[in-house]
Structure 1
Amino acid sequence: MNTLGIGLIGTGYMGKCHALAWNSVAATFGTDIRPRLVHLGEVNETLAKQRAAEFGFEKSSGDWRAVIDDPDVQIVSITSPNQFHKDMATAALDAGKHVWCEKPMSTGLQDAEAMLMAAERTDRLCVLGYNYIQSPAFRQIETLVKNGRIGRVTNIRVEMDEDFMAAPDMLHSLKHRAESGHGALDDFAVHPLSLLQRLCGLPVEVMADAARPYETLKDAHGVDKKVETFDIASALMRFRDGLTGTLIVNRSAWGRKGRIALQILGTEGSILFDQERANEFQLYQRSDEAEIQGFRTVLIAPIHAPYNHFVPAPGHGLGFNELKVIEAYEILNALSGKPARLVDFSDGIQIERVVHAMAQSHASGKWTSTFG
């Protein structure tokens, strides 16, 4: 069996998620390639050594460049804060490594464009971490839509809400500073946009607004600091062929924990999905007999691949980490020359351009083209 040397930069929530995925993918899917956890990088040697022992990496370094320079590393997982993605990804690509970089590409469109240029200089695989497209429920929804089971889609609505930035007494952090990006738009909106990209393509024109619930927050020393990013954003969207849609994202929505709610409305029916209930969706079809018309709940089961690789019975459900294992499997498929369901840098830059257009629209108060 071939092995793939794994490098990991960053060991926070998403770093651990990548490590779990690389550790699980071969056993889950019986792959031809077996990942080998080679080299982990963190901000200092002590933390790197601790995380390497916990995650199962052979080596560790307090400098991310050492991970990229390691000849035993073939692919680099980048899970650092967003503002470091460009330098790390371009360095890895220039060193001949494959890249699996968490979303968004970067904190600004210019840096994202630089990442795409680096990808185009090489034949290496360049993947972005959009794991929600891997959901068995969403895969089935996508199949239903593309097979015309709800007719022609006329309107699509998507919301993403969490409450991890809702508290008025939270400390001012990196996510409140402009260097981290626009805020909810690039931190959040990129995920629902990745779903739209699969379902109906991305919008060609947007009208957006953004807001912040708090103008200032105290830092760790009790000093008031200006909040420079926007935790709330909404947009009207126009697509090709007359399709319209709305997007609403909020990082300060009390009670919401991991909500990505889709409403797909067509000429022959509708589909509803909410990521907080990730293992089911609702389907309405006008063709049903009048006396039984209504939304039916479709529970995800082994028939909805790749659920069957994890659980042999319906109703048990998959979670966030399993979606990342599926994403790792798709990466191994791509490296083996097989068809793969992924968001690469060329797909990702389209998402970044939509986010940038929404930010421009908010600033100008006008409808804005997503083509620049």
Structure 2
Amino acid sequence: MDTIGVGLIGTGYMGKCHALAWNAVLPVFGDCPRPRLVGLAEVDADLARSRAHQFGFERSTADWRSLITDREIEVVSITTPNAFHAEMAVAALEAGKHVWCEKPMAVGFADATRMADAARKSGKVAILGYNYIQNPLIRQIGHMIDEREIGEINHVRIEMDEDFMADPDALFYWKSEASSGYGALDDFAVHPLSILQVLFGTPTRVFAHMSRPYDDRPTQDGGRRRVETFDIANVLFELGGISGVLAVNRSAWGRKGRIAIQIFGSTGSIVYDQERMNELQIYKAGQGAQSGYTTILAGPGHFPYDRFIPAPGHGLGFNDLKAIECRELLSAIEGREGRVVDFDAGLEIERCVHATAQSHAEQRWIDL
């Protein structure tokens, strides 16, 4: 195919990320159809028109359903709040569109299951926005594990922390509503779980505890409203003989975009932190008592870094990962192999999320 018609629903932070990716994917990779940015939907018609002009879309609408049924649109990006994902994704799939939906898949497991069923029935490509797995150095970690560079893996620790909800005086907003999900567990933990999935698989057993650092938050009218979600979650897990710890926190002062991974094996260990996303560290046993970790900088040898920059050490960014994800989606649409989290794989992440929430509620180990 020479071109592909694109629709976008939602124009906030992630909507802009998708728009940037659709605009960048062909210039960066050169081996995919040319995206034709056909239509954009927002709740407000004036905002929709403004965003369409900024993002490069041909037309706009305040009715997302009209975008779904537009015959010139072949793939739909869904970047709306979590509660709308299921309805929009199922409608798009039933209308014969491919779908690129932001994470988490849905607020409820039944809705996530409905989405996966709709994707299978449609025969269309439907993926979730887990762009951190696209980092060239996450791919490199997978290669190092496959090559047994640190021996037999026995323990994994993975953390995700940000501080956008750290201020107790910040106003209440939708991420503190129960309708958005559990909180950090499905807003955040799904990203580390996607990395675990591509490197090792999905946990088979979990034990969890979630907490609220603040019981309520101020509202616009000067009152206070009870926080209904959990901003902190800690999980013990087992995965194919590997023991693990997953810790996530949306109220961690000083942390801006941290996904920290420590992988321990029989002959060494690997360390990575998303806040320093262009480097990883490896330690190999037998290097002497005074030895430490060796730092590896991302470079052209770590595909697809070379498609962006011809020299090592210059660094990729978050939006570059989204462009890589867009390319992988287009590869899957064209029938080629794509490094994506499709709706079936996403459903397994959701299964783990809901089992973890059940573990917290019942205070016991849950088998998946």
Shift of 1:251: 0.1
2:272 matched residue in structure 1:
273
1:252 and 1:291 mapped to 2: Cα distance? 38
Output the amino acid matched with 1:238. E
Shift of 1:336: 1.7
Structure 2 letter corresponding to 1:332: L
Q: Which amino acid aligns with 1:85?
A: H
User: Do structure 1's residue 320 and structure 2's residue 299 form an aligned pair?
Assistant: no
Within 5 A, what are the aligned runs for 1:63-212?
A: 63-212=63-212
Query: 1:255 deviation in Å?
Result: 0.2
- Consecutive unaligned residues of structure 2, counting only runs of 5 or more, are none
| Counterpart amino acid of residue 19 in structure 1 | A
Match of 1:285 in 2: 284
Determine helix, strand or coil for the equivalent of 1:167: coil
> Is the contact made by 2:237 and 2:246 (CA closer than 8 Å) also made in structure 1?
yes
d(CA) in 1 for partners of 2:297 and 2:290? 19
Please say if residues 25 and 31 of structure 1, whose CA atoms lie closer than 8 Å, have aligned partners that are also in contact. Answer: no
The residue that corresponds to 1:338 in the other structure is 336
**Aligned partners of 2:32 and 2:331 also within 8 Å:** no
Question: For the Cα contact (< 8 Å) 1:3–1:36, is it kept in 2?
Answer: yes
How far 1:291 moved relative to its partner? Answer: 6.4
Given residue 182 of structure 2, which amino acid in structure 1 is its aligned partner?
A: H
Q: Distance in 1 between matches of 2:136 and 2:324?
A: 10
* Contact 1:205 1:369 survives alignment (8 Å): yes
Q: Secondary structure at the match of 2:101?
A: strand
TM-score by length of 1: 0.98
**2:363 alignment partner in structure 1:** 365
Q: CA deviation at 1:31?
A: 2.0
Q: Aligned partners of 2:337, 2:94: CA distance in 1, in Å? A: 25
For residues 80-122 of structure 1, the C-alpha deviation after alignment (integer angstroms, 9 at most, x for no partner) is 0000000000000000000000011011111101111111211
1:355 pairs with 2:353: yes
Q: Tell me which residue corresponds to 1:253.
A: 252
Is contact 1:146–1:199 with CA below 8 Å preserved after alignment? no
Residues in 2 aligned to 1:262 and 1:239: alpha-carbon distance in whole angstroms: 15
For residue 293 of structure 1, report the CA deviation from its aligned partner: 3.4
Secondary structure of residue in 2 paired with 1:121: helix
**C-alpha contact 1:285 1:293 (8 A) present in aligned 2:** no
2:284 maps to amino acid: Q
Q: Distance in 2 between matches of 1:32 and 1:299?
A: 28
4+ residue runs over 3 A deviation: none
327-336 vs 339-348, greater mean Cα deviation = 327-336
CA distance in 2, matches of 1:127, 1:32: 17
Write out per-residue CA displacement over residues 330-362 of structure 1, whole angstroms, 9 at most, x where no aligned residue. 111112221110000000000001000110000
- Quick check: 1:102–1:129 contact (8 Å CA) kept in 2? yes
1:37 Cα deviation after fit: 0.3
After superposition, what is the alpha-carbon deviation per residue over 1:278-297, rounded to whole angstroms, capped at 9, x for unaligned? 0000000115x426732100
Per the alignment, residue 305 of structure 2 pairs with 307
Matches within 5 A, 1:32-71: 32-71=32-71
Shift of 1:218: 1.5
Paired residues, number = 368
CA distance in 2, matches of 1:328, 1:135: 13
> Could you give the per-residue CA deviations for residues 232-252 of structure 1, whole angstroms, max 9, x where no partner exists?
000000112x21000000000
What secondary structure, in the 3-state scheme, does the structure 2 residue paired with 1:43 have? coil
Aligned CA-pair RMSD: 0.9
The residue identity in structure 1 corresponding to 2:250 is R
Letter in 1 for 2:141: I
Q: Taking structure 1 as reference, are residues 292 and 33 closer, same or farther at Cα in structure 2, changes over 3 Å only? A: farther
Q: Distance in 2 between matches of 1:318 and 1:340?
A: 20
Cα distance between partner residues in 2 of 1:14 and 1:303? 29
CA distance in 2 between partners of 1:307 and 1:4 (Å): 25
Instruction: Note if contact 1:286-1:293 (Cα within 8 Å) is conserved in structure 2.
Output: no
Q: Which runs of 5+ in 1 are unaligned?
A: none
TM-superposed CA distance for 1:49, in Å, is 0.3
What displacement does 1:32 show?
3.6
| Letter paired with 1:259 | R
What's the offset of the Cα at 1:199? 1.2
